[in-house]
């Protein structure tokens, strides 16, 4: 191998690793690592320029050691320390236990990211009870939201995604040759897969039955977090059987990174905090600076025009809060295009 080939290989590894980090995949193996296991990552992408695109997949049953569900619920902390993404020990322990999957070593104790978020949330609630300015409370509340490992609300937390094994039924050659790991958006799983595996009378249909199963289909359109939608859920009865070798899958744990609590603490303390791209600061200092900035802006608002600006900012905060909480809206993590 000459120098050019060596350097080109290094560039490819660099670009692959950067792409995985940019997409926040630290909770999983990189594409290169998956490839070494003979696995690809399934991407539920849109068509060109965000146009509608249909996906057709064979759902492959997980290893018998990983329970009977089609997918493993994932509770993920994104942007820990700036660019790390980690599985939440607190929430994942419950899911692993329910599926009979052993709890990873080093997960004794509480999740440090959840703990930090809870501290900020409690402070926000205390400020609200004491009659603090709504804008100041919203600053704190917005920060707390960024520490959540789940979608939905505090009272009804839901997984951000589901980890599944699939094959690409839209391409016969690809279907035969490649096993894919699919980080399935929660809306596709909850409103697509869970609906299609039941008849209107409530009778179970095993979409993943190797001998008598179904191709699951769905559509996606849109390019960004705000305009992406998943829809068109359906199933097509397979006119073929899944070969035995097609149904051999690794364990879920083999493609996930279960960082222990000490490692997560180091990530949290060693980089930027979770909310927004700011310099690494103590959470309390960041909150105080934000509140001080709000107070300064209020003191300088002496004209009617300034008052209008403040009112508009308040409305933006309210719209943002409304958009984050309803459960029928795609929220963070639900439309990551894997």
pLDDT of residue 13: 61
User: Has residue 308 been placed in a domain?
Assistant: yes
pLDDT of residue 76: 96
pTM of the complete model: 0.73
Q: Are residues 31 and 52 in the same domain?
A: no
User: Has residue 216 been placed in a domain?
Assistant: yes
Q: Are residues 16 and 141 in the same domain?
A: no
Q: Are residues 102 and 29 in the same domain?
A: no
Q: Are residues 104 and 4 in the same domain?
A: no
Range of the domain at 146: 39-324
Q: Are residues 158 and 32 in the same domain?
A: no
Total structural domains within the chain: 2
pLDDT of residue 303: 42
Q: Are residues 224 and 172 in the same domain?
A: yes
CA 288 to chain centre: 30
pLDDT of residue 175: 87
3-state class (DSSP) for residue 185: strand
Q: Are residues 152 and 243 in the same domain?
A: yes
pLDDT of residue 81: 82
Judged on CB neighbours under 10 Å (0-12, 13-18, 19+), 7 is exposed
User: Has residue 334 been placed in a domain?
Assistant: no
Q: Are residues 58 and 21 in the same domain?
A: no
User: Has residue 5 been placed in a domain?
Assistant: yes
How would you label 106-123 residue by residue, b for 16+ Cβ within 10 Å and e otherwise? ebeeebbbbebbeebbeb
Residues 6 or more apart from 116 whose CB is under 8 A from it?
Answer: 147, 268, 283
Strands 229-237 and 157-158: unpaired
pLDDT of residue 143: 87
Q: Are residues 204 and 287 in the same domain?
A: yes
User: Has residue 196 been placed in a domain?
Assistant: yes
Q: What are 168-207's pLDDT values in tens digits? A: 999 999 988 999 999 999 999 999 999 999 999 999 999 9
What CATH number is attached to the domain comprising 232?
3.90.198.10
In 88-165, alpha helices (H)? 89-98, 112-129, 134-145
User: Has residue 333 been placed in a domain?
Assistant: no
User: Has residue 279 been placed in a domain?
Assistant: yes
**CA-to-CA distance for 121 and 283, rounded, in angstroms?**
12
Q: Are residues 4 and 66 in the same domain?
A: no
| Torsion sign, CA atoms 100, 61, 251, 25 | negative
Q: Are residues 32 and 43 in the same domain?
A: no
User: Has residue 331 been placed in a domain?
Assistant: no
**CA-to-CA distance for 145 and 175, rounded, in angstroms?**
39
Q: Are residues 151 and 264 in the same domain?
A: yes
Low-confidence stretches of the chain (pLDDT beneath 50):
20-25, 272-284, 286-287, 290-291, 293-311, 313-338
In the chain, alpha helices (H)? 3-22, 31-36, 89-98, 112-129, 134-145, 172-177, 186-188, 194-196, 261-270, 283-299, 304-324
Angle between helices 304-324 and 134-145 (to 10 degrees): 30
């Amino acid at each position: 191998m000459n120098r050019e080939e060596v350097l080109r290989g290094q560039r490819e590894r660099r670009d692959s690793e950067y792409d995985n980090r940019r997409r926040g995949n630290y909770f999983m193996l990189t594409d290169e690592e998956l490839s070494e296991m003979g696995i690809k990552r399934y991407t539920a992408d849109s068509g060109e320029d965000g146009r509608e695109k249909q996906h057709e997949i064979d759902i492959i049953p997980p290893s018998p050691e990983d329970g009977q569900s089609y997918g493993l619920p994932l509770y993920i902390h994104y942007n820990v320390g700036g660019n790390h993404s980690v599985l939440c020990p607190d929430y994942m322990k419950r899911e692993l236990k329910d599926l009979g999957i052993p709890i990873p070593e080093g997960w004794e104790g509480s999740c440090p990211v959840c703990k930090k978020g809870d501290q900020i949330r409690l402070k926000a609630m205390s400020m609200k009870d004491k009659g603090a300015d709504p804008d100041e409370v919203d600053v704190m509340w917005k920060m707390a939201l960024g520490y959540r490992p789940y979608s939905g609300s505090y009272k009804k937390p839901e997984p951000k995604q589901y980890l599944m094994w699939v094959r690409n039924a839209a391409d016969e050659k690809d279907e035969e040759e490649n096993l894919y790991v699919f980080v399935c958006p929660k809306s596709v799983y909850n409103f697509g897969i869970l609906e299609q595996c039941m008849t209107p009378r409530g009778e179970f249909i095993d979409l993943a039955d190797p001998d008598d199963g179904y191709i699951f289909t769905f559509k996606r359109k849109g390019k960004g977090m705000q305009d992406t939608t998943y829809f068109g859920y359906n199933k097509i009865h397979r006119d073929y059987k899944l070969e035995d070798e097609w149904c051999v899958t690794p364990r879920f744990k083999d493609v996930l990174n279960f960082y222990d609590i000490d490692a997560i603490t180091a990530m949290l303390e060693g980089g930027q905090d979770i909310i927004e791209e700011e310099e690494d600061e103590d959470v309390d200092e960041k909150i105080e600076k934000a509140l001080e900035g709000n107070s300064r802006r209020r003191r300088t608002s002496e004209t009617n025009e300034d008052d209008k600006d403040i009112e508009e900012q308040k409305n933006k905060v309210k719209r943002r809060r409304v958009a984050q909480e309803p459960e029928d809206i795609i929220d963070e993590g639900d439309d990551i295009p894997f």
